[in-house]
A and B are shown apart, each in its own frame.
Chain A
Amino acid sequence: MCDKCAAEGLARVFGKDACRWYFSTDAYDYQHAYEADQKFLEYAEQYEILNSINPGKFGAEWVKKVVEGGRVAQVVTLEESLELLRIAKEANEGESLICLNMTCICKRTRGGDVTEPICMFFIHPPKEEHAREMFASRIFSSGERESFYFYDPVDLDKMKELLLDYEKRLGLVHTVFTIGFPSIITLCNCEMPYCHSMRQRLLYGVEDAFVEGYYVARINNDKCIGCGECERQCQFGAIRLDRKLEKVVHMPTNCFGCGICRSVCPADAIEMVERETVTLLPKKEPYGVHHPIALHEESVQ
């Protein structure tokens, strides 16, 4: 298990495969999602979340309060996305799992393209009556209001085709989004600078808002032909083409393991390997007690 998951104590809930908590059946418990949603709404109302959805106004504190050790979003590869969809389907066998493909809510609110549905909701309505009503009012009836919401119900097989298309044509990062960790509500296909969670992580450093995936890219420069396609597609600045050598250089600490570079590589020079097999130092080491900054902070207090 990776250091981050170990530090957050995920193993206590999910066992030894805690890094991939999204394969656990707990992740498809929508009654829990509903209860967590109530709590989220309370916080959201209090802190004017829509008006100040960035941590730039109040700092990262309110975001951390909402997250509380869970994770808002985590990057997954194409293979993991397909496995996740399969589990969602199996976990709700015989029940009314509903798949919706809708336009990205971040792009709707931030000014991106809203003509193409790229977010995938898979919803199993909760058992309680009032919870069902809430989901119904929030999700299903909205489909009729095409001026803002655009729902296009699709089946899981169709979703697989779409995921491949989004990755190769649009270069979008597959991400699982939770509503009340670990309940997964959507499989999103994200893009900077629209995605609210990506902004929270990449602009403001809120780690739990957008977490790195289980994998990390490994680039084999023997095969690399220096076309630079991976550099153009990487949203995290983890790859750069050395124009002189016509080879790419890779910064694995910046790599979120989305696998977009692999899918666009014409020379098949990129593979995804498990992050824990690569020795990666954390980007931000907490200050030791004898560090000058820590001493300064202590004296101020």
Chain B
Amino acid sequence: MKEDVERIRQSDMGFPELEVLEAYKKAPVITVGEECTQPQECRKCMEICATKVFVIIPDAKLVPHTRYPLIREGFELAAAPEAMRVVAAEPTVCTLCMACVRVCPLQCITIETPSK
């Protein structure tokens, strides 16, 4: 997959390289552990989060066999619950209420507060 992405990057599309914003680097680091394998059935962290930090997406590692694993296959293979993962896509809006940490039945969400 990495080779594919690299090939696309160097091909005729001419994508500009984007830099991660400074504000994003200062945001809390929210990680969801690998124990979370059935997020579509649970959805507890997604539902309790007031600012909707979490997004459910297909795991690239489990659907690596196409050119667009995250998108094309992703939404189609979304039917396969074991291929889905929860990620904290918008840590920049996290207000550190810690509700997701408390609600997770697997206790697998950790939040590292940003260093000032």
Q: Which residues of A contact B (CB under 8 A)?
A: 41-54, 56-59, 61-62, 65, 108-112, 137-138, 141-142, 145, 147-149, 193-194, 199, 203
B20 within 8 A of A: yes
- Name the residue on B nearest A142 (C-beta): B76
Cβ–Cβ contact A50 & B74, under 8 A: yes
Q: Are B54 and A145 in contact (CB under 8 A)?
A: no
**B89 near A52: Cβ-Cβ < 8 Å:** yes
**How many chain B residues touch the partner (CB < 8 A)?**
42
CB atoms of A56 and B21 under 8 A apart: yes
Are B18 and A58 in contact (CB-based, < 8 A)? yes
Give 5 A-B pairs besides A50-B55, A51-B57, A56-B90 with Cβ atoms closer than 8 angstroms. A42-B8, A54-B90, A57-B92, A109-B56, A111-B47
> How far apart are the CA atoms of A107 and B5 in the complex, in Å?
29
- B113 contact set on A, CB distance < 8 A: none
List 10 tightest A-B contacts by C-beta distance, closest first. Answer: A111-B46, A145-B79, A56-B92, A58-B18, A148-B78, A50-B57, A111-B47, A54-B90, A193-B52, A45-B68
- Enumerate chain A residues within 8 angstroms of B43, measured Cβ to Cβ: 111
Give the CA-CA distance A59 to B22 in the complex, in Å.
10
Q: A41-B71, A56-B24, A109-B56 are in contact. Are A147 and B8 (CB under 8 A)?
A: no
B47's closest neighbor in chain A, by CB? Answer: A111
A-B contact number at CB 8 A = 106
User: Per a CB cutoff under 8 Å, which of A41, A46, A52, A138 touches B9?
Assistant: A46
Q: Which residues of B contact A194 (CB under 8 A)?
A: 52
Bound CA–CA A40/B20 (angstroms):
21
**CB <8 Å contact, B75 and A47:** no
Provide 18 A-B residue pairs closer than 8 Å at the C-beta atoms, listed in order of the A residue: A44-B68, A45-B5, A49-B71, A50-B58, A52-B89, A56-B23, A58-B20, A59-B21, A109-B56, A109-B57, A110-B46, A110-B52, A111-B49, A111-B56, A142-B76, A145-B78, A145-B79, A148-B40
A75 to chain B, nearest CB (A): 20
| Cα distance, A53 to B70, chains bound together (Å) | 12
Contact across chains for B78 and A149 when beta carbons are under 8 A apart: yes
Looking across the interface, which residue of chain B has its beta carbon closest to that of A45?
A: B68
Q: Take A48-B70, A110-B52 as given contacts and tell me if A42 and B13 are in contact as well, using a CB distance cutoff of 8 Å.
A: yes
- Cα A42 to Cα B56 in complex, Å, equals 21
| Interface pair A193/B8, CB less than 8 Å apart | no
From B16, B52, B57, A111 is in contact (CB under 8 Å) with B52
Chain A residue at minimal CB-CB distance from B86: A111
CA distance A147 to B40 in the complex (A): 9
Within the assembled complex, what's the spacing in Å between the Cα atoms of A62 and B19?
Answer: 11
Residues 82 to 106 of chain B near chain A (Cβ within 8 Å): 87, 89-90, 92-93
Inter-chain CA distance A145–B19, complex, in Å, is: 38
B46 to A45, Cβ gap below 8 A?
Answer: no
The verdict on A51 contacting B89 (CB below 8 Å), with A45-B5, A45-B68 known, is yes
Give the one of A53, A56, A142, A203 with max B CB within 10 A: A56
CA distance A91 to B16 in the complex (A): 39
Q: For the complex, what is the distance from the CA of A110 to the CA of B68, rounded to whole Å?
A: 21
| A57 B20 Cβ-Cβ under 8 A | yes
In whole Å, how far is B36's beta carbon from the nearest beta carbon of chain A? 14
Asked if B74 and A147 sit within 8 Å, CB to CB, the answer is no
- Tell me, rounded to whole Å, the shortest Cβ–Cβ distance linking A192 to chain B: 9
